[in-house]
Amino acid sequence: MRSLTELPKVDLHVHLESTIRWSTVREIAAANGAGIPEDGPPAAFAGFRAFADHGALIRGCLRRPEDFARVAVEFCADEAEHGVRYAEVTFTAASHEERLGRPGMPLESVLRGLAEGRDRYGVECRVILDHSRRRSVRRAWRTLELARRYAADGVVAIGLAGDESYPLAPFAEACAAAREAGVRLVHHAGEAAGPASVREAVEVGHAERLGHGFRALEDPELVAELRERAIPLEVCPSSNVALGLVPSLAAHPLPRLLHAGLHVTVNTDIPAVVGTTLTAEYARISTAFGFTEGDLGGLSRAAIDASFAPEGTKARLHREVDAWLADGEAP
């Protein structure tokens, strides 16, 4: 198989705070007097709570406008290095501004960094603002306010994330208001919790895409509904294994999701934490499941179609995938 770095790719499920290079974490933490583990992120986590605590430690290092802008620029550089042409990066803006007492600053700094990264590295990025299910409904409304205010600057969606044992129902009114305002909705569901969380995300949260969603397979009726409504899944194989939600890559339900006729995309989720890239994800699933270049091109196409990119961007990306596939067919 040819170098998969050259395959034009789209990353739809990736958390900015989990993309930060460890060398950058060290420098920012030192500049801000923040403490971090000396030996970097752990090789594995003892459950979702341990992972969430690690994430909170990293987020706490980010304090100045230049910190947020820097990690956004470096995100673009790292995505470009691995053939990503377009990304929708998730950022917990309302939490950061509340923590720092500086409304607007974290998001504005990230947007500035993404614009610089686009100009320098050619990666087109848009932003999804997430909100933890464990946090207040008031903060969720603030997340929606930020999404509406910065829509012209590249914020395309909001979504509920975090511990799926917490229901989405308390946020129903905010989700309905987002849909009414034309803000797209993408919720995490069906990762740590079962198919009921997926159904709630779709029926109560009006989800247009699902973060993870692989446990929908436990409910055949739900699978049929997702297939009929063409609701895409943002599948993140290495992340699922690292967090202990799937025992091994070989046991990952990705092939069964595809066989069920679901609209599946492959993404990195927390790349700096688990030590992956989108090129590595494509290579791993190719090895694990015998996927061909055509299969991987199809996954890239699925991500293009599932994205909230402008139609012109989608058309360009499809042409680039066409060219990659055609080059592989040349004698």
Query: Which residues form the catalytic set?
Result: 191
Q: Which of 222, 163, 168, 235 is nearest to 195 (CA)?
A: 222
Contacts of 238 (CB under 8 A, 6+ apart): 249, 268, 269, 274, 276, 280, 281, 284
**Cβ atoms of 144 and 96 closer than 8 Å:** no
Question: Which whole-number Å values give the CA distances from 72 to 57, 77, 99, 102, in the listed order?
Answer: 18, 9, 19, 18
- Measured distance CA(69)–CA(62) in Å, rounded: 10
Taking the CB of residue 169, how many other CB atoms lie within 10 A of it? 12
In the sheet with 209-212, reading across from the earlier edge strand, the strands are: 9-15, 84-91, 124-132, 155-161, 184-189, 209-212, 233-235, 264-266
C-alpha 123: how far from chain center:
15
Secondary element (H or E) of residue 235: strand 233-235
| Cα dihedral value 144, 145, 146, 152, nearest 10 | 100
Secondary element (H or E) of residue 94: helix 93-100
Helix (H, G, I), strand (E, B) or coil at 84: strand
Take residue 128 and report the two structure tokens written for it.
């999804």
Take residue 331 and report the two structure tokens written for it.
């004698």
288 phi/psi in degrees, rounded to 5: -70, -35
Q: Which of 159, 71, 158 is nearest to 112 (CA)?
A: 71
